[in-house]
Structure 1
């Protein structure tokens, strides 16, 4: 039996203003593809994402915690479903508590885009792209039941909801609904007249779609007015007041003409919208217009602390703003602005702008704020009371599209991943005393095409392939090498031979090496437009910028951790499908997508001159899906969609020459998706295919023959062997399927290759990906990876189409007595 523990979870957040919420318990939950990721931003150990919840079948758009519920969270998805999650009292892990299925006619018929929960935690609302808002009641155990269905008229898609008890009217609620129109509808539930929400007012004034709504009380007094914030694509925030009483609030009663002074040519309506509940009179009036953002505003969040009311807003202009009302004038002004400073906007590199923020969140204490950027990464700021300023902390990041390839460095010190989101990322352990935590340490490649495959060339170089029909080779810059040495304890880099850093020209995809300058070096702008040799000040990097004492921020990752490109490898006519580097780093084997014999070839490149070794290797007739070198590089294994495998043998006279030695045109009954050589051998290998089988092939005097087969319950999309035998007879192989399931099998080599699935001891449900596993990679095994009893502590990296990168450790566990 093996005991599994989670070392690292990395995934990017979905781009939606309603995608995240921060609970009073300190947990931040956000939608990540069709999973829900849980993170404690204020965790002193900086563990990052600690759990991924599976239960949805499409993108998660909306996340809300129920106030006062000990962390119960509601999520809504493009799969039309709502799921309620709660923490298991025994394991401490979150589990699916209730799923509201779409098979019932009463549920949503389209993507759920927004949620709102009342402050007393008794009811919540969900809004969907079917122009429907549904009201749900919550019982004492937080089980949901449908109470009402509201068809929005005039028809528009709800993108934002806000829900609150009405001041001074117990049992009454007010619901604000807005979205793909420039109006806000107010619905009121009056228990004396009906148990249904009814439309009572329509607030006009915005001139674009409204993306965020949120209620708060003006002060701690239970009878205080409600304030509603609305954020719009018209670049403005509007505040609205819901007042109890027949007399209008002072601002509305005065009809101050100066309200419109900030917007030349526009008048701000002071119309009072009156309604009643339980015999009490209420009014909804315009309160204030907040100007300060330069682009669409996606979210607003209220916070009351230290006797003052604050509003946090996030915008596509790359900034977060913290607003407060001036005590003397009542005018709302920006007290603090965070994000990208104006000089960084419009940077000449293709990585200059991160595209703004989808949403921002206050911590329960108000001493930390987080913001979700367009790249799917979270940024974090902590308030330093001594310095009286916000200091950027360590957020979390991850891929936002399917991860297509992973590769450990040859020494196993760090992990590279590449994705359809057009980035390559480097992940490593940050070591500080007795504490360690995984982080994204560098982003070597930001590309213009979807990336499909990657492999390491030693410890400071890698090669990647993309849809652009060529491969690119990258070398590590001094800045990243110093960072990995300083933070991760990785030694052995030849930093004297490295350039300082790299950047990317605006009109190119090739990272260029650059040298950093001293902080006191003055960079003069070009004398005129014809001075082509002048240095662009925006491309200059100062040495102090590259000297960090903690993992990098999102801005730093995208601007200052690129790796310079050293070579391009041409030859293929279609998108690159797979590649592999020999273990000694001397040969790169590549293949591309193909529908004919002419293109289904393997091209070899040697890494001294980067020239192709001709002729290419021919055997397949369709796309080659995987290439693998044996541990001693004496054999090259290829498998493809044409259901066959081929083994090419290296010439003893010229180590750059490989020739076909063995082949099997009927290796599987359906396409073969992956293959792996046994540990430290070229005498047996495994293949896996869409026929749900893993076949083990062993060599004798006549060639390779199938010795045994494992049948899985779903197509097998990825396999990999642990790098050394566990005992003299036993090897471990990991297998990942199209459904996301990962199994570990023990293979008895000297007993007819008999295989047995190993039991896995888990303190919680098995944390499988929710979509197909795209690649598995065991960390290279070293002597330092053995425990006191001599058992291997094995680490498996798992890449998936659900955008998640996972690293799990496996070690033997003695049976309980």
Structure 2
């Protein structure tokens, strides 16, 4: 193989658990931070389109130029821009061409913050002119002006205007607006840890000065947003500022342009009377008065975000500012507020979400550009999208969204015949992704179809039982116990819907499966089965029965899914029952693997001594410990069975590799011997993979080398080849067999910097009585584009299983990384 084309088929990612992380642009793309990368997803396709690598720290906030708020000023723009800020204080600017669908990083803001960026907000004066500001935990607010090019690739100009020091209590919310006097003056509102709203006024050239404070909130201010200037009776213009706080309230402030400059001497007066009437200040030649318009009470927890509905373009070329506000709260609801027509009192007219204890709530809410869709992102990195499908009245219905892990993905495994991909993460969840025919009906798109395990510890490893029978997997976490799970009937039927839509072939469902789903006990880590007959029974409780609410709430309702599920269904109704616990290891589980017959599972744990670094072998079915293999002195990082299941390969932090022979004597008896142990690399060995066509294998290490080895007569190992040094540590390997006759293969190499390379391997042989592999010639087949790769270390690589082993015209590779992303 000399070359191949690589296309991205699927990205799964969760949103970083932080406020201000999501932005919905006028392009109708949604941007969010996923660990060190900026992810872009399209709400119409419910798919993540790409990720933008470049940040070296977690992405805290994103902001589109233009956002949905200024869509009316960029209706014909084909280039849109995105700002992203990270935990190191760096802000980057990205450009996307809507016609070509290409992304590129155009600049990094030179005047960086000393600490993490917490919020970015801006204002657009035209399709090419904007001012934006950023806050940071370093106690400063920085303001820039940017001139965007008219055409793609044109020159852009970024001007640093000013840095405002806000003291020891940082600001975490920003809003910018143009004052309604048509003189180009800007008002900047900021709020944060001192419970006050600080207003500054300035020109587009900078020179901001403080004008007043707005008091009223009794806890941290989390969000601010200005409306566009509103005309009242076609005479007086005014601005509305909405603020939300951790005191569970929303306040609406009115900034009115006074007709005269009277009472200007009162602009510095601080007292109760001035706040009842409203502070008065002068900016330029105009005088403004601020007053509290309304206090909105309705949420039962912190209100993390408030946002005005985006303006609508008017026939006269201007805009119409709808009187509608979206709020999102940690009570897991979003509300839309509007003034009543007769009294003008602001009322809650729409509530979406759920008031429940099953998860913490929403970190932010956002309007779509047309005002007919609203999006929330939650504590668990999930998205929740509702669309108004009503014609004569509002009818908000949940929509499909992409999903994924919100912490490092530590391991992945393919099911038999590649029907689905299983992943585990440090976000303490196990997730299953599978192809499903899209609602457009043109092609299969990948979606999360189940969340089999929700745990209380970070996951480190997982393996699917590859043998015949019902789908089962074993997971290992930061606990000393490995847990075994078996697919319930509801999942098997759901998988049939997905598989049948993709291939037209249904999977046989075992008739003896009596478990419909599983329930999670509130105070435990085990998932209890829900039996089919129990689910069908409807028994009435008598008055003498005591209801154990901790055990029964929330009650899972396993159902067969006929279309990709939304977050609420995934979180509780797709659990698998736990069938066994495997006790024996002395420390946290670190690595798992299963043989190809599905009869043995090998496990290892974190270790600092040889006695703890044992590899345990478990008999599938009885789940008895049938072997304890000793060879390594530190943590075994990865293990793999050869494709004939005769040999077990292990690599370790002690820089050694070991090969064991494994023989089955009876139903529950095996024998094992150490074939060879060798110090293979100069640093930690992170990865290993067998050649599917023989007893050759590859190892990858922190020393930046990949080495190819061969097991000679099941008694010794021999170094065959060493690939050229890579640019950083090798953290993942996966060997695909391409041609059995010539022993050609494709080796996927994952690196610590997130990049992936494909190497073509061709065996060289010598004739010596029998044909044996004497070495491999290797060549680079493909180096993945950085925009298709991870933004942090690749943790695992796995080729999709295929029934047609020789058909390699179209093959799929899955990868997972420390940047939260399971790729495919």
Which of 427, 433, 456 is equivalent to 1:427? Answer: 433
The change in CA–CA distance for 1:540 and 1:109 in structure 2 (over 3 A counts) is closer
Change (3 A) 1:776 1:238: same
Confirm or deny: 8 A CA contact 2:180 2:229 kept in the other structure: no
- Per-residue CA shift, 1:196-242, capped at 9, x if unaligned? 11100100000000010000036467963111110100000001111
**Is 2:364 the partner of 1:359?**
yes
Structure 2 match to 1:25: 27
The residue that corresponds to 2:219 in the other structure is: 208
Q: Give CA deviations for 1:51-78 in whole Å, capped at 9, x if unaligned.
A: 0001111111111111236421111111
* Match of residue 560 from structure 1: 573
Deviations 1:655-713 (A, max 9, x none): 742422422331112221111110132x2111111111111111334621001001222
Whole-angstrom distance in 2 between the partners of 1:300 and 1:126 = 18
Cα deviation, residue 395, structure 1: 1.2
Aligned to 1:769: 790
Residue pairs, 1:656-667, within 5 angstroms:
656-667=669-680
Q: CA-to-partner distance for each residue in 1:256-284, whole Å, 9 max, x for gaps? A: xxxxxxxxxx9995241111222111112
| Aligned: 1:506 with 2:518 | no
Offset of residue 330 of structure 1:
1.1
Distance 1:237 1:766, change over 3 A: closer
Structure 2 match to 1:452 = 460
Distance 1:574 1:536, change over 3 A: closer
Residue 610 in structure 1 maps to residue 609 in structure 2: no
Q: Judge conservation of contact 1:412–1:779 (CA < 8 Å) in 2.
A: yes
What are the superposed Cα offsets for residues 126-147 of structure 1, whole Å, 9 maximum, x if unpaired? Answer: 1111110011011243532211
Q: Within 5 A, what are the aligned runs for 1:719-758?
A: 719-725=733-739, 728-750=742-764, 752-758=774-780
Displacement of 1:484 in angstroms is 1.2
Alignment partner, residue 696 of structure 1: 708
Q: Per-residue CA shift, 1:179-201, capped at 9, x if unaligned?
A: 1111000000157xx84111001
RMSD, aligned α-carbons:
2.6
| SS of residue paired to 1:196 | strand
The 5 Å alignment of 1:630-709 reads 630-651=642-663, 653-654=665-666, 656-681=669-694, 683-701=695-713, 703-709=716-722
Match of 2:88 in 1: 79
Provide closer, same or farther for how the CA distance between residues 651 and 450 of structure 1 changes in structure 2, counting only shifts above 3 A.
same
More divergent stretch after superposition (510-519 vs 659-668): 510-519
Matched positions, count: 762
Taking the aligned partners of 1:25 and 1:108, their CA distance within structure 2 comes to 28
Farther-moved stretch of structure 1 (715-724 vs 23-32): 715-724
Is structure 2 residue 446 aligned with structure 1 residue 438?
yes
2:602 matched to 1:589? yes
Pair 1:134-2:142 in alignment = yes
Distance in 1 (CA, whole Å) between partners of 2:239 and 2:459 is: 50
Secondary structure of 2:479's counterpart equals coil
Residue number in structure 1 paired with 2:476: 465
How does 1:321-336 map onto structure 2 within 5 Å? 321-336=335-350
How far apart in 1 are the matches of 2:143 and 2:192? 17
Counterpart of 1:373 in structure 2 is: 378
Rounded Cα–Cα distance in structure 2 between residues aligned with 1:133 and 1:417: 40
1:803 aligns with 2:820: yes
CA contact (8 A) 1:402 1:800 kept: yes
Q: Relative to structure 1, is the Cα distance of residues 723 and 413 closer, same or farther in structure 2, using a 3 angstrom cutoff?
A: farther
User: 2:239 aligns to what?
Assistant: 226
The structural deviation recorded for 1:641 is 1.0
SS in 2 for 1:107: coil
Q: Deviations over 1:6-25 (max 9, x none)?
A: 11101111122211111112
CA contact 1:717–1:773 (8 Å) conserved in 2: yes
CA shift digits 1:280-339 (9 cap, x unpaired): 111122111000000000001111469741111000001000110111111111101000
Going from structure 1 to structure 2, the CA distance change for 1:321 and 1:457 (only over 3 Å counts) comes to: same
**How far does the alpha carbon of each residue in 1:483-508 deviate from its partner, in whole angstroms, 9 at most, with x for none?**
11113325123254141110111111
Q: Does 2:126 match 1:115? A: no
| Alpha-carbon shift at residue 434 of structure 1 (Å) | 3.5
5 Å-filtered alignment, 1:292-307, equals: 292-303=298-309, 304=311
Cα offset, 1:430, TM superposition: 0.7
* 2:390 is equivalent to residue 385 of structure 1: yes
CA contact (8 A) 2:522 2:551 kept: no
TM-superposed deviation, 1:608: 2.2
1:530 CA drift (Å): 4.2
Separation in 1, partners of 2:541, 2:159? 65
Residues 201 and 31 (structure 1), Cα distance of their counterparts in 2 relative to 1, 3 Å cut = same
Deviation at 1:570, TM superposition (A): 0.5
Residue correspondence of structure 1 range 468-547 to structure 2 within 5 A: 468-489=479-500, 491-494=507-510, 496-515=512-531, 524=540, 527-528=543-544, 530=546, 538-541=553-556, 546-547=559-560
2: distance between equivalents of 1:201 and 1:23? 31
Matches within 5 A, 1:400-415: 400-415=406-421
1:49 and 1:727 map into 2 onto residues whose CA distance is 39
Aligned to 2:325: 311
1:775 and 1:799 in contact (8 A); partners too: yes
**Contact 2:759 2:781 survives alignment (8 Å):** no
Contact 1:587–1:607 (CA under 8 A) maintained in structure 2: yes
Residues 55, 717 of structure 1: CA spacing in aligned structure 2 closer, same or farther, 3 A cutoff?
Answer: same
Following TM superposition, by how much is the alpha carbon of 1:584 offset from its aligned partner in structure 2, in angstroms? Answer: 1.1
1:262 is matched with none
Please state whether the residue corresponding to 2:11 is helix, strand or coil: strand
- Cα distance in 1 for partners of 2:6, 2:811 equals 10
Task: Please state whether the residue corresponding to 2:498 is helix, strand or coil.
Answer: helix
Summarize the Cα distance change of 1:42–1:88 in structure 2 as closer, same or farther, 3 Å threshold.
closer
Is 2:53–2:786's contact at 8 Å kept on the other side of the alignment?
no
Is residue 748–residue 757 contact of structure 2 (8 Å, CA) maintained in 1?
A: yes
Distance of 1:233 and 1:679 partners within structure 2: 57
**CA contact under 8 A between 1:3 and 1:761: conserved in structure 2?**
no
SS at match of 2:495: helix
Q: What's the secondary structure of 1:270's corresponding residue?
A: helix
Q: Is the 8 A contact 2:518 2:528 kept in 1?
A: yes
Cα contact 1:679–1:725 (8 A) shared by 2: no
- 1:405-426 residue CA offsets vs partner (Å, 9 max, x unmatched): 1000022110000011111000
Q: Which is worse superposed, 601-610 or 228-237?
A: 601-610
Q: In the alignment, what sits opposite 1:95? A: 104
Per the TM alignment, residue 747 of structure 1 is displaced from its structure 2 partner at its CA by 1.0
Q: Find the counterpart in structure 1 of residue 14 from structure 2.
A: 12
Distance in 2, matches of 1:531 and 1:804, equals 41
How many Å apart are 1:177 and its aligned residue? 0.6
Q: Which SS does the other structure have where 1:750 is aligned?
A: strand
> Take 1:230 and 1:495, find their aligned partners in 2: how far apart are those partners?
58
